[in-house]
Structure 1
Amino acid sequence: MKDTGQSCRPERLHKTARPCQESESTMEPGRRVVLYAGLGVGHLTPMVELAKLFLCRGLAVIIAVPTRPGPASVASLAAANPSVSFHLLPPPPYPDPDPSQFVRMLDTFRLCAPSLLALLRSLPSVAALVVDMFCAHAVDVAAALNVPAYIYWTSSARAFASFLHLPYYYSKTASSLGDMGKALLHFPGVPPIAASDMPSTEQDREGRAYKARTALYARVAQATGVLLNTFEWLEARAVKALREGACVPDRPTPPVYCVGPLVAAGTSEAGESERHACLAWLDAQPDRSVVFLCFGSVGAFSVTQLKEIARGLETSGHRFLWVVRSPLQDPSKFIEPRPEPDLEELLPDGFLKRTRERGLVVSSWAPQAEVLHHGATGAFVTHCGWNSALEGVTVGVPLLCWPQYAEQRLNKVLIVEEMKVGVVMQGYDEELVSAEEVEAKVRLVMESEEGKRLRERLAVAREKAADALMDGGPSRLAFDQFLKDLGRSK
C-alpha cells in the first residue's frame, strides 16, 4: 500500500523487518490467489497487507470485495496498490426489510457467492481462495471448483479461540451471556473474560446475530487452513490451544499459520507538501511527549463525552493529538456517513484556544500508522481494534484502552491482563468516562513508574514483532510453510 506520510524519526525503530523475501514458488508460474475481503478498514487493510506477501512470492493477487462501487476505503486502497487487482462483487437485492446491520452484512457476503464463483471460473489458474472469517461461507465456492480454501482471521488468536469454543460453552448452560453480567468465562488458551466483555452479537444465544456467527465458525473445519494476523510469541497460549484442537473438541481444526503482525508500515516516499498537517505539528514536539487519541474508522462519542475528554486532556497538562468525529445520529447505524465535525460546537468553550500551544484537534481522520511511528508519540488512546493494537505494539507505544464495539472489549482484556501493555479507561462500559479518569490515566502512562514498566514490556514486544517479520523469522517461516502446504494441496 502506498502510504501518505513520512517517517520523521527513523531511529525510533532500531530494527526494521524487510517486507518480504523472494523465494522459489512451489506452484506453477502464472498462478494467482483470490482474497475475499470483508468490508471495513479493519478487514480490508490487513487483507491488502496479506496480498503483498503473495506478490513478493511471485503470485498474482485479486481482492474480491462484496460491495457496489462507491466506498471510499476500497477506492483509496485500490489507487494506492496498483499491483493488486480489486474486483467488486455487487450484491443482489436484499430480501429482509429489517435486519440488524451485522446480520445484513453477513448475509450480503453470503449472497455474493454466485458472483465470486463466476469470478473464479473466469480466471485461467487459481492457486487458492483466502476468505475473511466473515465470508467463511465461501468455502463452498472453493469446494465447487476444487480450489483450496483458507480462512484469514484479522483479529487476535485469543478472540478466535474464544469464539470457536463459545458454542461448546453454551452447550453446558441454559443462560445467555447477556444474563451473566461480569461472570468470568473460561476458554482454552484465553485468560478469564467477563461475559459482558464478549461482543454484543454473542450475548443472546437465541438471537439472529449469534446464530449467524456460529454458522460461520462451523465452516472453519471445512477450510484447508487458517491464517492468523498475529505472531506466535504474542499469543502462544491461544495458538497452542488452536493447534491442539482444544477449542473445537468434536471436529478437526485445520492447520494454523501465524503470519503477522501485518500492519501498515507508517512510512512513505511522499514529499513534504503531501504530508498531513498533524505530522508537521508532531515534528515540533519533544520525543514521546504526545498522547494520540484515535478510535478507528467508525468510532464516535456523544457531545457530553467529547467535552469530558477535552476537560481531562486540558487538566492533565500533557500534549495531545486528538481525532474527533461527529457523533452518530443513530447509534445502531455505526457505519452511516457523518458530516465534518464542528469543533467549536462540540468541544468546551475556549478549549481549542486554551490548549493550542500543546494540543492539536484533527477533524475526522489522521494517518494513524504515521502518527504512531513518529518519535513524538508517547501514548495511544485506542478503541482496541486489533489493527490498532498491533500497530501500537510494533512501535512500542503504551495503549490506553477504550473499547466500543465488536470484539474490542475482549481485546482490551488481552491487552491489559495478559499482554500487560496497556491500561483501561474505567467507565467505558457505563454511561460516561469522566474527565477525572481521562486525566488520571494520561498521567499514569506518561508520568508514573507503572507507565515506565509498560514501556519496558512494550520494548520487548516490539523487538519480538520485528524478529517475527525478519527473513527467517517465525512469521515469515510460517508463511513459507503455508505456501509449501498449498503447493502440495492440489
Structure 2
Amino acid sequence: MTGKKRTFVLYPSLGVGHLIPMVELAKHLLRHGHGALIAVVNPPDTDAVSAAAVARLAAANPAIAFRLLPAPASPDVGAHPVKRDQDTLQLANPALRDLLLSLAGGADALLLDMFCVDALDVAAELGVPAYFFFASAAGDLAVFLNLPYLYPTLPSSFRDMGEALVRCPGMPPIQALDMPWTVRDRESDAAKVRMYQWKRIPEGRGVLVNSFDWLEPRALRALGDGVCVPGRPTPRAFCIGPLVNDGSTTGESGERHECLAWLGAQPCMMVYVGLRVLETHLMKIGTDLWVLLVDSWKHQKKNIGLWSRELSGDLVHRKSTSGIIFYLGSNLVTWASQKQKVVALSSCEAEYIAAALGACQGVWLSRLIADLIGGEAQKFRLLIDNQSAIELARNPVFHERSKHIDTRYHYIRDSIEKNLVDVEHVGTDEQVADILTKPLGRVKFVEFRLKLGVVPSPPVPTLGRFEEFVKAEDVEAKVRLVMEAEEGRILRKRLGVAREKALGATKEGGSSEVAFAEFLRDLDKSSSANGECN
C-alpha cells in the first residue's frame, strides 16, 4: 500500500476489448489500497458495451465500482466506425462530467483510454488531473505520438509506400505496409481521427504504460528524451506493467471460465489441424477470395435474420434455393445458400420453408448468445420480402396453401406464438439475402456486398511480406523452428529470461512498482498545484 487512499475514475473507450485492460488496471489500484470506478459509455447502438457484459465483470470483481454512462449514438450512421466511436465519446462528455461531480469525495485522477482524448476537456473544466493508460507496448506509444508530426511530411500515404521504411524515434524502421489499417490512407476519416487522438495525448499529465523498463529501453529513452513529440513537452511514461490476466480466473472469485477450462484440456495439435483445414479450404476457393470484415464482438442482444429464396432454381430437380443471413447488431455472424429439400409449389411456399429454417437458426443463435452472456434468450427479427409467406406464418389455421407442407416447416408458427421471433416485411430492393440466391445486376450486387461487409481481400503477410497467403507449410516451419531448431532453443531461453524480468518488475522494489510510486508522487504534485480542489 502506498500512502493515502485515492479514488480513481477509469474511462475506457467503446468495446469490451478496451474495457478488459481497464479492469486489470483497476485490480492493480485496488492491490495498492486505492479505490477504482470504471465509467463505461453505453450508447444505444452496436458500438456499446452491453450492460450484461458490465454486470458479468462487476460480479467477478465486486471491489471495483462500475457505472454505465448513457450517451447518444453518433448521428452519422454512415461514417467509418472509427469516426462514429469518436462522435459517441464526444457526446458522452456531459454524462462523464455529471458522474465526476456526483462523487461524494471527488476523483483524485481520471485515467483515460488512449482514444478518450475529448474527456481531457471535462478534466480541465473540473480541475481533475488526467492521465492516459496505454495497454500496449511503449514502442507503439512512441510511434503513435510521433505520427501526427511525421505523416504529413511523407511523400504519400502508407498504402502507396509498399515496403518503404518509416522511421520513428524509439523504434527500428517499420515497413509502411505494417502500419495499422486505420491510418493506411492519410486522407481517410479514420486516419484523421487517429491523428487527432494521438496528437492530444500529450495534453495529459502522463501515460501509464502496460510494459516494464527492461523490455523496451530504446522506446522509453526516446519518450524520456522528448523526441517523439516535436515542439512540445512529451508526457512522462510510467511503465507499471505487465498488467495481464493470466487466464486462470475470471475475477476475484477465483472461478475459472468454462471456455478456458475446455481449451486448456485440448491437445495442442488441434490448432495445427485447424490451420491445415483452413489452408486446404483456401486452396479449393482459389486466389479470387473475398473476405468478411467484422467489427469487434460486442455482446449485443439483438440479432436480425434475413431470408431469401429462388423459386425452382435447380433446373434438374426443380427445388428452390434458400439464402440465409444473420446479423448480431451490425455484425454478420452466419450466412448460407442451400437447396431446399422439397419442391415448393409457389414462391409463397418456398419463402415459408426458408422462413421456418430461419426461425430454427435464429432461436439457436439467441440461445447461444444467452449462454455466452449469462442472460435470457432474446426475441429476434426475421425479415422476409414475401407478404403471403408472412401471413401464412402468422395464421395458425391450416388452409389450402399450407395443408400439404411438411409439418416440420410449421416451426415458424410455433416460434411466433411463443414470442421467440418477430416476422417483419422488408422490401425486395432491401433484401440483402438475395445476393445468395439470385443473379443481380452489378449495381445491386455491389450494394448488397457492401452491406454484408465484404471487400476484396487484402494481401496476407507471410514472413514479413504481403505478396501471398500464409500456408500451413509456413506455419509448420515456424513451429518446428521454435520447438526443434537451435534458433528456437535460443528464443525459448530469451523468453524465459523475459518472464523472470517481468515477474521481478512487478515485485516490491521492482521497476514497475517504483514507477507506480513515482506516478502517485506526480499526482500529489498536481493535486497540490490545484489546491486539492477537484
TM-score by length of 2: 0.61
CA distance in 2 between counterparts of 1:293 and 1:304 reads 6
CA separation of 1:147 and 1:176: change in aligned 2, threshold 3 A: same
**1:443 pairs with one of 464, 476, 480:** 480
Aligned to 2:22: 47
Aligned to 1:12: none
1:54-133 equivalences in 2 (<5 Å): 54-68=29-43, 70=50, 72-124=52-104, 125-133=106-114
1:344-359 equivalences in 2 (<5 Å): none
Aligned to 1:307: 278
Secondary structure of the residue that 1:174 maps to in structure 2? coil
Aligned to 1:6: none
- The Cα offsets for residues 171-202 of structure 1, whole Å up to 9 and x where unpaired, read as 32331111101101111010110001001111
Q: CA deviation at 1:75?
A: 3.3
TM-score by length of 1: 0.66
Aligned to 2:2: 23
The letter for the 1-side match of 2:64 is: V
Aligned to 1:158: 139
Q: CA deviation at 1:101?
A: 1.5
Secondary structure of the residue that 1:216 maps to in structure 2? helix
The letter for the 2-side match of 1:487 is: D
- Give me the identity figure in percent: 47
Aligned to 2:454: none
CA separation of 1:74 and 1:35: change in aligned 2, threshold 3 A: same
The letter for the 2-side match of 1:432 is: F
Aligned to 2:319: none
The letter for the 2-side match of 1:186 is: R
Secondary structure of the residue that 1:98 maps to in structure 2? coil
Aligned to 1:379: none
The letter for the 1-side match of 2:2 is: S
User: What runs of 5+ residues in structure 1 fail to find an aligned partner?
Assistant: 1-21, 295-302, 313-326, 343-362, 365-423
Aligned to 2:265: 281
**1:220 pairs with one of 201, 223, 240:** 201
Contact 1:158 1:238 in 2 (8 A): yes
Worse-superposed segment, 60-69 or 113-122: 60-69
Q: CA deviation at 1:451?
A: 1.4
User: What runs of 5+ residues in structure 2 fail to find an aligned partner?
Assistant: 44-48, 284-288, 298-329, 337-367, 370-460, 528-534
1:224-235 equivalences in 2 (<5 Å): 224-235=205-216
The letter for the 1-side match of 2:3 is: E
Contact 2:247 2:260 in 1 (8 A): no
The letter for the 1-side match of 2:293 is: P
The letter for the 2-side match of 1:101 is: P
Q: CA deviation at 1:62?
A: 0.7
Aligned to 1:263: 244
CA distance in 1 between counterparts of 2:257 and 2:27 reads 27
CA distance in 2 between counterparts of 1:333 and 1:58 reads 37
Q: CA deviation at 1:475?
A: 0.3
Q: CA deviation at 1:246?
A: 0.4
- The Cα offsets for residues 154-181 of structure 1, whole Å up to 9 and x where unpaired, read as 1111111111111222232331111101
Contact 1:24 1:57 in 2 (8 A): no
CA separation of 1:235 and 1:280: change in aligned 2, threshold 3 A: closer
CA distance in 2 between counterparts of 1:225 and 1:88 reads 26
Aligned to 2:354: none
Secondary structure of the residue that 2:115 maps to in structure 1? helix
The letter for the 2-side match of 1:435 is: A
Secondary structure of the residue that 1:136 maps to in structure 2? coil
CA distance in 2 between counterparts of 1:266 and 1:217 reads 30
Secondary structure of the residue that 1:135 maps to in structure 2? coil
Aligned to 1:404: none
Instruction: Give the aligned CA root-mean-square deviation in angstroms.
Output: 3.4
Aligned to 2:192: 211
Secondary structure of the residue that 1:441 maps to in structure 2? helix
Contact 1:328 1:334 in 2 (8 A): no
**2:115 pairs with one of 114, 120, 134:** 134
| Residues 1:199 and 2:199 aligned together | no
- Number of aligned residue pairs: 361
The letter for the 1-side match of 2:27 is: K
Aligned to 1:486: 523
Aligned to 1:176: 157
The letter for the 1-side match of 2:164 is: A
Aligned to 1:149: 130
CA separation of 1:47 and 1:121: change in aligned 2, threshold 3 A: same
| Residues 1:167 and 2:148 aligned together | yes
CA distance in 2 between counterparts of 1:120 and 1:80 reads 25
Secondary structure of the residue that 1:89 maps to in structure 2? strand
Aligned to 1:458: 495
Contact 2:41 2:70 in 1 (8 A): yes
